Amino acid sequence: MGSRFLQLVWPFLAASLFFFNAFTYSQKAPHLKFIKEARFAPRVSQYDYIVIGGGTSGCPLAATLSQRASVLVLERGGSPYKNPGSINLNKFVNSLVDITPSSFTQQFISTDGVLNARARALGGGSVINAGFYSRAGAKYVREAGWDERLAEESYEWVEKVVAFKPMVRQWQSAVRDGLKEVGVLPYNGFSYDHISGTKVGGSIFDHMGHRHTAADLLTYANPSSISVYIHATVQKILFRYCPERRRQQAYGVIYKDELGIMHKANLRVKGEIILSAGAIGSPQMLMLSGIGPAQHLWAHRIKVVLDQPMVGQGMADNPTNVLVVPSPVPVEESLIQTVGITNFGSYIEASSGLNLGLSWPQRLQRIYDIVSNQTTGPSMSNWANIIRSFANKSLKGGVILEKVAGPLSTGHLQLLTSNPNDNPLVTFNYFKEPEDLRTCVAGMRTIIDVINSRAFSRFRYKNLSIQALIDLVLSLPVNLRPKHASAHFSLEQFCIDTVMTIWHYHGGCHVGKVVDRNYKVMGVDSLRVIDGSTFSASPGTNPQATVMMLGRYMGQRILLERFHRIDP
């Protein structure tokens, strides 16, 4: 009887414990006393590990290392806990386009003419992204050389705090059923796993629309052995020559607080500096510290520590293209929940209910602000007319998008200046490889089929043709690339002309080229890179779950190596 009773109540009990734990962690997070402004940091300090970047990977990494070592986290941005309502679901667009000095978003435009953004906040990209949570596929895990059991445990460790099953309502259900109707099968229900077919994935937004970021994972940390400083901008990593090893060794960092005062942090014996500054920040910081292509560093008057021409190479951003679908009926406010994982390398996703009339004027103004002093673009009056033409608050509906897996096309990153606050120059070379373009076209055709499906019919104006939806996107300044007349009838040209980012850029510090399989920077000692800059392809439909997992995973491996002398 007791066993039978346990079988009946266990699912309810387990669910209750899960939500209680997540609630408990999220409630603790704003009160973590070890998160402080950098101006309160000592001028000189010493730690076992110095983590540069308190982002999606840096937070779980630091929390894990703190269990058995002293850890310093240096984050250039602010804390999401100062105003948590500003990052909730209904503030997604506002947060992403916020250009104030204290914002969590730093805009940049790639040389390809695509508007992009990088995070500057404790919690990294999980503070400003669309919240979709989905693991990497089993094949990705194996090819990365990760221990599958430890990776599974690391994912679960993350999910106890930040991942939730979303409430799927009408728009997302229509996209889900449309994907099934057009053959993106099988239907796999709700799953964190990356498996072919249609599924509902996880979200870092809870049922109240509150965002749970990687910063929440710091609740796992040992508060007596971790220091987290925000508004701490690392200027460079310090190196000294080690005669025994006949190579340079990292031994400390110089960082600046928000008042402009410099601080120095040194490593203790057996310590390491770990770069977790993201796909833009990590290769940039290596170069600023003297590791990169020698001629490029000399041009910026940077002393060369190690001539490493592969730093900044292999940059990639998954190309994304969308169709905007105005709806004749009200739609819920939703970000990514449903995904169609096709067998040809395209992922189909959707969002709804965001006020397109408000977001586009803000986006347009941001484009103008960035390019007005750099190019001979349109006049201020022309931009104002464009902005006013899209300031229609009544435009409601959603978007259905496709993301090209991989991708195969890659580019590079270079320094623009030697100021760590400035964005570097980034080139992604969208659709340089023909296979990426073929995948985009197939993905757009699938989107068109979904829009034409019976399941989606109530969210479609009957007199609004697919051609009208294509023309609508072509009329929007989604990027700074030239538009061609053929894009109206050629999906190939449409993909090229209207390509956007989905903020899944990666590369610049590839495994086997810049770091080894243990994420140690090759050619120097006491320095690793652990973040998405090491990825040669974006994991699954969204990388954030895997980036967080990697922080936890490598934290455990590093501690094993340190205390048990086991090669990770």
Q: Report how far Cα 6 is from the mean position of its chain's Cα atoms.
A: 41
Tokens, residue 421: 């606050």
Alpha helices in 304-355 (DSSP H): none
Tokens, residue 271: 């310590």
Q: Are 542 and 548 in contact (CB under 8 A)?
A: no
The annotation places the binding site for FAD at 56-57, 75-76, 234, 503-504, 532, 543-544
Which is nearest to 548 in space by CA: 149, 223, 133?
133
| Helix pair angle (466-475, 434-451), 10° resolution | 130
Cα R_g (the chain), whole angstroms? 23
Does residue 118 come out as left (phi exceeding 0), alpha (psi in the -120 to 50 range) or beta?
A: beta
**Is 31 annotated in the active site?**
no
Q: Are 491 and 444 in contact (CB under 8 A)?
A: yes
CB atoms within 10 A of CB 385: 11
Tokens, residue 490: 């050629």
3-state SS class at 566? coil
List 504, 506, 510, 564, catalytic entry:
504
Distance in angstroms (rounded) separating the CA atoms of residues 62 and 245: 27
The 10 Å CB-count burial string (b at 16+, else e) for 538-567 is: bbbbbbbbbbbbbbbbbbbbbbeebeeeee
Residues in the chain, overall count: 568
Q: Are 139 and 122 in contact (CB under 8 A)?
A: no
Distance in angstroms (rounded) separating the CA atoms of residues 568 and 558: 7
3-state SS class at 145? coil
Distance in angstroms (rounded) separating the CA atoms of residues 553 and 361: 42
CB atoms within 10 A of CB 7: 9
The annotation places the binding site at 56-57, 75-76, 234, 503-504, 532, 543-544
Strands, E assignment, 20-104: 35-37, 44-52, 71-75
Phi then psi for residue 53, to 5 deg, are: 110, 105
Q: Are 425 and 414 in contact (CB under 8 A)?
A: yes
Which is nearest to 220 in space by CA: 548, 567, 530?
548
Tokens, residue 401: 């998008």
Which is nearest to 473 in space by CA: 447, 452, 446?
447
The 10 Å CB-count burial string (b at 16+, else e) for 17-44 is: eeeeebeebbeebeebebbbebeebeee
| Helix pair angle (58-65, 544-564), 10° resolution | 30
Q: Which residues are catalytic?
A: 504
